[in-house]
Amino acid sequence: MLRDLGGTGSLRRSIKLDQAPVTIKQFLRGEIDLDTELSRRFANAPLLTSIGRAPEDTQPASRATATMISQDQAATLTFDIYADQDLLEATFTLNHMLALRFYLPEIGKYDKRRWLDLMRREGGVAFLWTSQRWDEDYLIFVIRPHFVRMYAFSPHRFEASVRLGHHVAGLLINWLEMRWF
């Protein structure tokens, strides 16, 4: 993870760990279990059990969308990819009333590939972020035995969380890989 913090190639820059959020600093120093700490904050995060993707095929599209929905349809998570702008947005919606949008522009190819590889493991933590790291919006995924926890953070002082069934997470990962590469 420390290698990932520095970026690669032309994006390599010094990341100051003292600027990281307190929870991330504690995790990097080995003081806390990040999954335990975050799951306390979002103990009853909704479980998203179905996914729809448009377009689902490999046809090029300037905008592609994946929507994951809870069984009671009270919670949704939408991933929008704007290929012409190299932009990913993740929008958490609760009861068709409140939405939080997280904006991840220009995620480098290294960070995309690294995240996909980490997400295909049996367990662990995977960060999806731009080269700006915690200076911009970022996502943390924790792969667990029965589901994947997804957390989104913004430096604008808002956060969100959901749980994804492994089947849904797998379909999302495959769809993102197809759209990104």
Beta strand 47-54 pairing with 158-164: parallel
- Mean pLDDT over each residue of the chain, to the nearest integer: 88
According to DSSP, the residues that pair with 105 across neighbouring strands are 87
Alpha carbons 129 and 139: distance in angstroms, whole number: 6
Res 1 pLDDT > 60:
no
| E strands in the chain | 47-54, 63-70, 75-82, 87-94, 98-105, 124-128, 138-143, 148-154, 158-164
**Contacts (Cβ under 8 Å, ≥6 apart) of 156:** none
* Token output for 90: 């993740």
The reported pTM is 0.86
Task: Summarize pLDDT for 89-143 with one digit per residue, the tens.
Answer: 999 999 999 999 999 999 999 999 999 999 999 999 999 988 777 789 999 999 9
150-178 pLDDT per residue, tens = 999 999 989 999 999 999 999 999 999 99
The residues spanned by each domain of the chain are 13-180
- Confidence grade of residue 17 (pLDDT, cut at 50, 70, 90): low
